[in-house]
Amino acid sequence: MNKYLEEFRSEKAARIISDQINALQGNTRLTIMEICGGHTLTTMKYGLHTLLPETLTLKSGPGCPVCVTSTEYIDTAIALLQEHDVIIASFGDMLRVPGSTSTLLKQRSLGRDVRICFSPMDALSIAKENPGRKTVFLAIGFETTAPGIAVAIREAEQQGIGNIAFLTALKTMPQAMKALLSDPEALIDGFILPGHVTAVMGTGMYDPVIETYPIPGVVSGFEPTDMLASIRTLVEMIIAKKQEIVVQYTRAVKKEGNTAAQKIMNEVFVTADVSWRGLGTIPGSGLSIAGKYSHLDAEKKYAVSLPQQKEHPGCICGDVMKGKKTPNQCSLFKQQCTPENPVGACMVSAEGSCGIYFNFGRIHGR
């Protein structure tokens, strides 16, 4: 094992922390939501729930950017292919996300030009290499990917690349958290908060949440002992009725975040109302292209006609992302819906709850 990971994956340390959690909690029933799919992956991969009290419930949240990308967004990308013959440039896992009638992967199999990017800057290269074609980059993600996309948009403007546009579905976490907490059925006692998002935005991003809903949160790293240490701190805070945000992931997260990243985001984007798959439209929960860069907005640049939005009637992806149900409560899970044939978006990504449960749940009896 890499020497830099040993202390974070130590079974001895994990058991010590889990004993402390069990002693702290006793018979108190608590429900904690892990916002990020990366935390759900750690929990399931390493079987952390087997070390926790039976009275402590961990719920998955809407922190998988692929999972929360709306059906309408996928339909729009497909319509751009069909009606404007664009080159769609996209992160790879987006290709299998279901729209109302098709996926980008199916469209590529029919001869449409869909290309995989590892960085938003790859889309600029594609556009420059194909000056006679129109290129549209599918700009999705949370605050983590937004700075890189902002850089690519600014570069496209500065380089005068006239044949590229960006179809944005960027989402921000605080308003989604408020939407979850406004649901009386949510019953969330505390949050495990995403380390990478907070590394960009700083802990102040959560102030509007805890000002409205007095609830604690811990910003966690992604290794097993990170998660257990964060859960221990969160249990302590809940029992003590502390309503604040604590950073466990101090090796990567500063209170102020990455101010350079925030600066370029503020230059290129403005707050927008956006649609989340399974959660509906949440006011002020997204980012759209602003000001002098707005001519690079694919939604404004290209008109398309869309089919009536629909999802598979048996899919419970929305309830999974709200923490109301677990993947194995879905009648499609492991039957019609598998990673090879995803019916719902939560089965597509490595950070999707259904995909995680499919790959690791059987190992740990889930």
Q: So where are the chain's domains? A: 6-65+183-247, 71-173+260-301, 317-361
- In the chain, the N- to C-terminal Cα span, in Å, equals 27
Kindly state the helix (H) or strand (E) to which residue 191 belongs, with its residue range. strand 190-194
Q: Which residues contact 230 (CB under 8 A, 6 or more apart)?
A: 192, 218, 219, 220, 221, 248
Find out whether 209 and 182 touch, Cβ atoms under 8 Å: no
How much is the pLDDT for 310?
Answer: 83
CA–CA separation, 353 and 351 (whole Å): 6
Angle (CA) 138 293 261, round 5°? 75
* Span 326-333, average pLDDT: 94
pLDDT in tens, 284-327: 999 999 989 999 999 999 999 988 888 888 999 999 999 999 99
Q: Is the pLDDT of residue 2 over 60?
A: yes
pLDDT in tens, 89-122: 999 999 999 999 999 999 999 999 999 999 999 9
Which position has the token pair 């505390």? 190
Find out whether 69 and 356 touch, Cβ atoms under 8 Å: no
Pairing label, strands 190-194, 217-220: parallel
Pick the CATH number of 71-173+260-301 from 3.40.50.720, 3.40.50.11740, 3.30.1300.10, 3.90.1170.50: 3.40.50.11740
User: What is the percent of the chain where pLDDT is above 90?
Assistant: 87
CA–CA separation, 231 and 358 (whole Å): 24
DSSP codes, 172-189: -HHHHHHHHHTSTT----
Q: What is the token pair recorded at 38?
A: 């990366």
Fold of 6-65+183-247: Rossmann fold (3.40.50)
How much is the pLDDT for 27?
Answer: 83
Beta strands, E only, 221-302: 245-247, 269-276, 280-289
How much is the pLDDT for 3?
Answer: 63
Three-class SS of residue 137? strand
Q: Is the pLDDT of residue 362 over 80?
A: no
Q: Compute, in degrees rounded to 10, the torsion defined by CA atoms 293, 296, 301, 306.
A: -110
CA–CA separation, 236 and 240 (whole Å): 6
- Average pLDDT of the residues of the chain: 93
Domains 6-65+183-247 and 71-173+260-301 are alike in CATH topology: yes
pLDDT in tens, 210-263: 999 999 999 999 999 999 999 999 999 999 999 999 999 999 999 999 999 999
Q: Which residues contact 9 (CB under 8 A, 6 or more apart)?
A: 1, 46, 223, 224, 225
The residue count of the chain comes to: 366
* Span 128-149, average pLDDT: 97
Find out whether 9 and 223 touch, Cβ atoms under 8 Å: yes
